[in-house]
Amino acid sequence: MNMIQGQWPAAATVAATGRGDAGGAGRRGSSPQGATGLHQFRYTDNDFERIRELIHRCAGISLNPGKQHMVYSRLARRLRVRRVPSFADYIDLVERGDQAEMEEFINALTTNLTAFFREPHHFPLLARHLDRLVSHRRSLAVWSSAASSGEEPYSLAMTVVEHFGSFNPPVKIYASDIDTSALDRARRGVYAAERVRDMSPSRMKRFFLRGEGKNAGYVRVKPELQRLVTFERLNLLDEQWPLAERFDAIFCRNVMIYFDKTTQYQVLKRFVPRLQPEGLLFAGHSESFHQATDLFRLCGKTVYSPVGIARDGNREAP
């Protein structure tokens, strides 16, 4: 593998905690109001309920009632940065329309459990799917709709390079996420070496540079692979998605489980016209869409195809 000592971004550490941890099950702790004396900032049950409502409205995340202390620990740094004395004051600040702080608020409450080639059965299936389609269209498109810090879209890029035998494959890869800090890490493409410890030597040699000196212990995605992925911020709850493409595959894995059923259905409904008639939706291992059988049908292990889009292939995307 190539060795380089160049100036790599200082913030090379990649988050390894759970994406959407806000929605996961948790043991209910003591009331934040009762524990106020142990905290630097005043934080009440009412503050927590306001935060729950706000993050659900803005990002679709359903915080369960056991996450009071997680919320405090995630947001306390923002109160220090903004020099506000209480959570009530901080929530007021965010709700007044401070867009930069709203972005920081969302970033703080969305974390990113991801890995290269996570749920590995999806990648050879994607390669076969694209191979069937390439004879019909010159250019194909794949969307990683919850790209986090980049491991998934770079895995998609490696898959298509390997399958088509070229760093100029007939596939465009779009990658989006609501978390701007995760997207910054994704664009840099710098990862702790332990993140790729299970990758084969041939893949490492082909797709990564290994750091030396102050960058020892890190690897960087090669520029020719980075060029295959376009990263953009996108909130799946936004009224408009800045996408012109219809996709041959959409990856939305291990995100829907943190939405309530109504929000899941709304997002799935908007995915349908974004897919080509033969397109596939790749979901996470713990996700199922029984409430949306009018939209998608299961056609493989956590792989879905749209119902009805082939009969109405000219419908416009929202």
Predicted pLDDT of residue 286 = 81
CA 190 to chain CA centroid, Å, is: 17
* CA Rg value for the chain: 21
Q: What are phi and psi of 211, to 5 degrees?
A: -80, 150
Task: Check if the beta carbon of residue 277 is closer than 8 Å to that of residue 171.
Answer: no
Predicted pLDDT of residue 1 = 52
- Tell me which residue of 3, 1, 23 sits closest to 284, measured CA to CA: 23
Predicted pLDDT of residue 19 = 40
Instruction: Kindly state the tokens that stand for 315.
Output: 């419908």
Task: Check if the beta carbon of residue 213 is closer than 8 Å to that of residue 1.
Answer: no
Please confirm, yes or no, whether 131 is among the known catalytic residues.
no
Among 74, 185, 210, 274, the active-site one is 74
Task: Check if the beta carbon of residue 295 is closer than 8 Å to that of residue 305.
Answer: no
Among 21, 47, 177, 179, the active-site one is 177
Q: What's this model's pTM, rounded to 2 decimal places?
A: 0.76
- How high is the mean pLDDT in each 10-residue block of the chain (318 residues)? 51 37 33 50 91 86 83 90 93 88 84 84 97 90 96 98 97 95 95 93 96 93 98 93 93 88 94 95 89 93 82 39
Query: 78-97: string of b/e by CB count within 10 Å (b at 16+)?
Result: bbeeeebebbbebbebbeee
Please confirm, yes or no, whether 74 is among the known catalytic residues.
yes
- Written as one string, the DSSP assignment of 6-75 is S---S--PPP-S-TTGGGS-----S-TTTTGGGSSSB--HHHHHHHHHHHHHHH-----GGGHHHHHHHH
Reduce the secondary structure of 204-241 to three states and give it as a string: HHHHEEEECHHHCCEEEECHHHHCCEEEEECCCCCCCC
Predicted pLDDT of residue 285 = 86
